[in-house]
Amino acid sequence: MRTSVYDNSQNVFEVQTALRKLRETHKIIPLITPDGVFGPETTEAVLSAQEFFSLPRTGEVDFDTWEVLFDYYFNS
């Protein structure tokens, strides 16, 4: 699963929801509103999350990014 700029899907909404939860405790993540559109704000939040988790900063949600986001989401 790869999610990137201007994708529009349920997967994007789920990623945005996970990023928003991460933002609750880690203010380096920009606050975004889940809307299902992978635009510039979501890209910035993904880049920040990738930096936080020491992942390559690509701005795309690859398998590794998806895995750490949802591990955090479901276990925090």
Across the strands, what pairs with 8? 37
| pTM greater than 0.85 (yes/no) | yes
pLDDT along the chain (76 residues), means of 10: 64 94 95 93 96 96 93 90
Between CA 32 and CA 29, with CA 72 as vertex, the angle to 5 degrees is 30
Q: What's the pLDDT at 9?
A: 86
| Total Cβ atoms within 10 A of residue 6 | 11
